[in-house]
Structure 1
Amino acid sequence: MNSLEFTTRTSSNGVVERDFTVGEVTGALWSPAPGSDCAPLVLMGHGGGNHRKSPAMVGRAQRLVAGGGFHVATIDAPGHGGRPRTAHDEREIALMQRTMAAGEPVGPIVQRYNAHLAGRAVPEWRATLDALQELPEIGTGGPVGYFGLNMGTAIGVPLTAIEPRITAAVFGLFWPESLVRAAGQITVPIEFALQWDDEHIPRASGLALFDAFASKDKTLHANAGRHKELPRFEADSAVHFFVRHLGGAATAPA
């Protein structure tokens, strides 16, 4: 098993940020200031074309640490961030770009490529979780959540379906076809975000994925707007969700 190695460390406003590697996987860990041992851990998956420390990921991580007292970990998906692309990655990305430039539906290509990435990323996430739980400030006994939208959902749904350590998850903004089977295996509490006027994912498709989860405790958050117009307050809602289901501080943003 690959061990976790920290490469950088910074601290600001009570949040400690550390970059790390687990084998060839690059990641980042945000934590409360020292003294908050064994706080719950939230894993976060980034969207397609982004990376572990894109502005949205940093903002969500800081909210989760400040509002819930959580540790928050991200890793770069295969072919993202500083990780090299394979020839398959290059072909699929080029095809997506040509399809979007032509104004044609890109959903089938995104689903196929993201399913391919999930097959590579899920084992990496499980190995990363193993390594994170070796840290004394996290440990093996605390609860674990998962937070991922777009490609973060494409990877997070199959991960949550097979990873018993994940006990609550926030998903959203993805098509159902490649995820229905895995969603039907998930029974942990779910919060799901959907954009009512999404130009890429038909409304009925988003609702079908929400319906596919076997969880008895699941909540749909449907907001007006297009695909990239998810309200920022949904990040605060995710903090409240994880505080409810993982424990943590009672200082989640109002």
Structure 2
Amino acid sequence: MHSLRFIAQTSSNGVLERDFVVGEVTGVLWSPVSGSGHAPLVLMGHGGGLHKKTPGLMARARDAVTRWGFTVVAIDAPGHGDRPRTAEDEQARADLQQALAAGETERFESISVRYSASLAERAVPEWQATLDALQDLPEIGTEAPIGYGGGMSLGTAIGIPLTAVEPRITAAIFGGGFFAHQALIEAARRITVPVQFLLPWDEEYVDRGTVLALFDAFSSKDKTLLANPGTHRRMRWVGVDDEFLVRHLGPAGASAA
């Protein structure tokens, strides 16, 4: 089992940001500069073609730290960010760009489904190994409640199978922008924790009906669907339940009480 090694550290506006590696996985941990130990830990996934420090993800992470006192972690998916790309990664990216440019919808969907499933198969054990390593840190430990803070597209294509097999995750936020293939629907059926699902109503790449079928598949008794007008990359969220994670994980300090 790989241990976690910090490789860089900065702080600003009350947020401590530490880059780390666990084996070959590159990640970043955000936490309060001063705060109680064993605060809730939120896992955040990034979208396809992006990375762990994408501006939108960083903004959400820093907000969770400053507003709720959470600790937040993000890692680069295989072939993303600071991770090297395999031949499969390079070929899939090239094929996706070619299919999209040619307007080959069915081919684009087929490649996307196959590649995202491959990424999830590789990323789920990496997330679990990262969690193991984080729980060895005294400020986190095994007492900290854990939630999945989502991420559209790839962040959810990985987050759903992760949540389906990882009992340490007790609440999750997912979002649309990906193809809901059968394996993903089967994974959703195994999820019983509270779920908040965000759907771009005018998503231009993905059939809305398949995403609604995915939401329907969650076995959670507490699940909420929020749909706003907008496309894959142009979305302004209104009415989001900002207190979803704090309600289910508790505020910082509650787990240590």
TM-score > 0.5, shorter chain as reference: yes
2-structure distance, mates of 1:142, 1:249: 9
Instruction: Report how many residues are paired.
Output: 248
Moved over 4 A (4+): none
**Residue equivalent to 2:18:** 18
Number of the residue aligned with 1:153: 156
Q: Distance in 2 between matches of 1:56 and 1:90?
A: 25
Check conservation: 1:7, 1:18, Cα contact below 8 A. yes
Q: How far off its partner does 1:35 sit?
A: 3.1
Secondary structure class of the residue paired with 2:243:
helix
CA displacement 1:15-68 (0-9 Å, x = unmatched): 100000001110000001233211000001111000011111111111111122
Residue 91 (1) aligns with residue 91 (2)? yes
Is residue 176–residue 209 contact of structure 1 (8 Å, CA) maintained in 2? Answer: yes
Judge conservation of contact 1:147–1:170 (CA < 8 Å) in 2.
yes
Name the amino acid aligned to 1:196. Answer: W
Asked if the contact 1:26/1:75 (under 8 Å) is kept, the reply is yes
Tell me, yes or no, if structure 1 residue 222 matches structure 2 residue 227: yes
Q: Which residue pairs with 2:170 in the alignment?
A: 167
1:175 to partner: Cα distance: 2.4
Amino acid at match of 1:128: T
Question: In 2 relative to 1, CA 121–98 (structure 1 residues): closer, same or farther, beyond 3 Å?
Answer: same
Question: 1:160-218 CA deviation, whole Å, 9 max, x = no partner?
Answer: 00000000000011322141000000000000011111111122112111111110100
Aligned to 1:113: 115
Structure 2: give runs of 5+ residues left out of the alignment.
none
Moved more, 238-247 or 82-91: 238-247
Q: Write the distance in 1 (CA, Å) between the matches of 2:118 and 2:103.
A: 24
Determine what percentage of the aligned residue pairs are the same residue.
Answer: 61
Separation (CA, whole Å) in 2 of partners of 1:233 and 1:123: 34
The TM-score normalised by the length of structure 1 is 0.94
What residue is the counterpart of 1:205 in the other structure? 210
- 1:132 aligned residue (131, 134, 138): 134
CA contact (8 A) 1:63 1:239 kept: no
> Are residues 1:191 and 2:193 paired?
no
Structure 1 distance, partners of 2:245, 2:13, is: 21
- Looking at structure 2, the residues matched to 157 and 244 of structure 1 have their Cα atoms a distance apart, in angstroms, of 20
Match of 1:181 in 2: 186
Q: One-letter code of the match for 2:30?
A: W
5+ residue gaps in structure 1? none
CA separation in 2, counterparts of 1:79 and 1:238?
32
Kept in 1, the 8 Å contact 2:9–2:17? The answer is yes
SS in 2 for 1:179: helix
On the 8 A contact 1:67/1:249 being kept in 2, the answer is no
Which residue type is aligned with residue 31 of structure 2?
Answer: S
**TM-score after normalising by structure 2:** 0.93
- TM-superposed CA distance for 1:81, in Å, is 0.6
Paired residue for 2:27? 27
Matched to 1:172, the amino acid is G
Q: Does the 8 A contact of 2:194 with 2:223 survive in 1?
A: yes
